[in-house]
A and B are shown apart, each in its own frame.
Chain A
């Protein structure tokens, strides 16, 4: 759990972070989003004391970070950087075992943990003996994550962890991140300036501008209840896609037509977003198959026309709130 209360950071001429307060609950993922220079990195680095706050209070796991030795505190917080920051003179395996070594784990335990992480992050075991410069950008970033996770830190700070990757690799690794069990239970604060990434990875999104928080809330809050024009314009460009990605079959269940029983059914999980469904359905355009979604004993017909109708109705319901 991370809590910031009235935290500010001033440099001589700039207010990098200006009186912000928010909380990341246990097991929650909050994404800091905003334009370049709005203070995201500064906010993140104040939490592991790479930057000392000018004022305010920061609590991690119930303890004021200023009231404990910085180094000890940092070993309990995983930290992933944009430019991975892997040690070029350490092998992949040695990089992953840095924090366990600092914590004086036994050799066996370290070896086992390294093996486990390589496997979980879909890195072949043989990579363990290579040096970071011998890896691809995507592999380097995964090793960076493995290193941050090595000593089971309950809290994870990630500063644009995918920022240095090409868009295709980026989407691929993002998918993996969402399915990684190690990440599911963690309290995560992540920085990005990619709106789509923020909405996909964050339980909540915190939009910043000029050192202040503009709006913090669920993806749908920012999409459908933007607090001001800044929020609206920030997500405007990809608005339609973002909406489709952030509305799930479950959300519009009641607005969909009932399915008629029949043969040749393709089942789609109600956990899917509209975007995923549209992708699946349009990929089989000429098919004669029918798509249905089943939730408990309820069965809904999935067709492009009915989906779009339900989507419009759903959106309108927000406007009437």
Chain B
């Protein structure tokens, strides 16, 4: 425990620059959006308290806005406002609307009618009644709404990291992707603290003597503007080109750090989620993105992979891994599975993924079409010799591979097949295999090395640059440790890569990462 704290503390100390920058960005995001929301929400609340028949529709719309999942709302913003601060601020503002409008409305409606009546009867003008009577008396309720909105915004602002708007989400999502607890906590603890501190301060403000409501009128906007000003967009260093990298890629030594060290690439970067990154590149919000070389969106958004000419990204060649025991029991299994070896290269896999992920065709159909086209399709023999249990992780590429193997086994052997798709991530699949719950699943060499075997750093460095060495290493170690056999690689390499828009890359004559670096340095 003590050690854990120590290392968390070390991590925060090491990353204090980033931590401070992210915290300030987080506060800034929260309060710019809150400020805008108040600027629009309070007048709206006042307006519907005057025109009651509009209160239903307006509160209804604000309510619906809040039920839209945050990620989806951020996604909707991209075509309209691009990536970065603007869409994040607008999305956060929309989230804050409901509590602010609703509380302004109920606060004003709740003012004792005798009091407003007296005010009017004494000859106060409508604006005097609003500013001297209604708003001061509604202030505790309005402040409660602002308080709710602030806490919501501090939380939702973590998601701003998904669309390159910064904030503490960069650490949180980077940490989740890298399975780095310290990194997660370095983002989550300050975010929680911010929520608690702002909640506490606003609770104080709320319980102030209502007399001080006048002070609140002036103080709140000033404080908000001051806090908002913390948000400074990452300043432009280096090139005009902008790269969007996932939090995971940013944090990995074989990711962004490798690009900097080995290639000396000095490009302006923002952190962005995998879910919106490809689209943002397509829409010219970003010029370079990190991604997986067989991702279907590569084709969908007309992107091209830059060649990793200094091989900094570890190889992720796919191959079926099978329990040795099963291979011995059914000798016909291995040749049948090996039929696929060498048949799928990167671009074919990308195409197949594209059809499943983007065109929404079923993996069965895609698998069958592929085998038919390769003249490998054979009618099922409906054999009863035995059942092979096959598993897969929870994404399209694995589903397709599984269906292909199912057809191959049924057509070429007398074995029958059961599939268990969607076994979550690597850990679940691998545990299922070692516990005899499944007989095989498709795995990637890089994953086998870095996630399952986790050898010491020295070993990794000595083999990581060479795809054969990695394959040999995992094959040998899996057999020795777990009695699991890596069959022949299928052919494609689903590794990290950098991508650009096809058109831009060919216009600028950039084909490799080195050429990208040269281009950036020249401009």
Contacts and interface: CB of A to CB of B under 8 A. Distances in A.
Interface of A: 48, 50, 70-75, 79, 81-89, 98-99, 102, 147, 157
Contacts of B128: 102
A89 B211 contact: yes
B210 A48 contact: no
Interface string B187-224: 00000000000000000000000110100000000000
30 contacts: A70-B123, A71-B124, A74-B120, A74-B122, A75-B122, A81-B117, A81-B118, A82-B114, A83-B112, A83-B114, A85-B112, A85-B114, A85-B115, A85-B121, A86-B118, A87-B118, A87-B119, A88-B112, A88-B115, A89-B136, A89-B137, A89-B210, A98-B122, A98-B124, A99-B122, A99-B123, A102-B122, A102-B123, A102-B128, A147-B122
B133 interface: yes
A59 B4 CA distance: 84
A81 B123 contact: no
Which A-B residue pairs are the 9 nearest by beta carbons?
A: A85-B118, A75-B123, A74-B123, A79-B121, A85-B114, A83-B114, A71-B123, A89-B210, A89-B136
Contact of B133 (A70, A72, A81, A87): A87
B461 interface: no
A89 B111 CA distance: 12
B124 to A, nearest CB: 7
Given A87-B118, A98-B124, 7 more contacts: A48-B121, A79-B121, A83-B114, A87-B115, A99-B123, A102-B124, A102-B128
B5 interface: no
B125 interface: yes
Nearest to B210: A89
A107 to B, nearest CB: 18
Contacts of B137: 88-89
A70 B124 CA distance: 10
Range of interface residues on chain B? 10 to 19
Contacts of B120: 50, 74
B123 A72 contact: yes
Contacts of A102: 122-124, 128
A48 B137 CA distance: 25
A102 B132 CA distance: 12
Contacts of A72: 123
A81 B122 contact: no
Contact of A50 (B115, B117, B125, B136): B117
A74 B136 contact: no
B179 to A, nearest CB: 55
B217 to A, nearest CB: 12
A79 B210 contact: no
B352 to A, nearest CB: 69
A290 B413 CA distance: 136
B121 A81 contact: yes
A266 to B, nearest CB: 47
B118 A79 contact: yes
Interface string B16-59: 00000000000000000000000000000000000000000000
Contacts of B123: 70-75, 99, 102
A84 B114 contact: yes
Interface in B116-158: 117-125, 128, 133, 136-137
Given A89-B137, A89-B213, A71 B125 contact: yes
Contacts of A48: 121
A75 to B, nearest CB: 4
Interface in B325-382: none
Nearest to A75: B123
A83 B113 CA distance: 10
Nearest to B115: A85
A85 B117 contact: yes
